[in-house]
Amino acid sequence: MDLRYKEVQFDGRFVKENVYRKMAPSPETDEAWDKLGIGYNQVRLPEALAVKAGITRNHTRIKAKYGGGYPVFVEGLHQLHCLNLVRKSLWYNYEHYHGAHEVEFSDSDKVIYWHVSHCLDIIRQRLMCTMDTSVFGSVWVDRNDPRPFTDFNTKHVCRDFEQIREWAEDHQLGDDTPEDFLELPGEDVYVWDVAP
């Protein structure tokens, strides 16, 4: 995919809600997050692209009779899934989602803890890896008692998220993959004792 870039004005208003950050859980907010592609299935990555992406013979492969390649998740969509899970786990949202038996909250408290802390750390690592070096200025607030307040509304040149989301949506593996879809590991493939 030839990535496109576009200028994006970040909406960083401090006290103004948007569909992604409502004060209370709502179907509208959940739908907006879902539409970002956070629940997409894996996509098939051909061998040549997989090698460029750092995928090795030690990763799961699709059998040649089903077209070969590797089943992969788009990392950015996983990171958005993680951010959504952190959103749902905030103290003012947790009871709602836990009580509604959302799939992420159907496990034991220990598994929920590991899932949320995994997600928080994935987001930390991504932010540190692509550290934004843009800066925030301050503006004056309240003419009667002027004080500076950080202006979080900044412009950025971003990858075209919709292009990437549409590609992932169009290239998802179906829900109906056969039982023998994956090539079982041969003797030359490293098999982990526990999940990494």
| pLDDT value for 193 | 93
| pLDDT value for 88 | 95
Q: For residues 97 and 104, is the Cβ–Cβ distance under 8 A? A: yes
Task: Show the tokens assigned to 32.
Answer: 């907006």
161: buried, middle or exposed (CB in 10 Å: 19+, 13-18, 0-12)? middle
Q: Where are the domains of the chain?
A: 23-138+162-183
| pLDDT value for 16 | 87
Q: For residues 67 and 77, is the Cβ–Cβ distance under 8 A? A: no
- Dihedral sign of CA atoms 33, 55, 107, 41 in order: positive
CA–CA gap between residue 146 and residue 67 (Å, rounded): 65
| pLDDT value for 74 | 96
Residues in the chain with pLDDT values less than 70: none
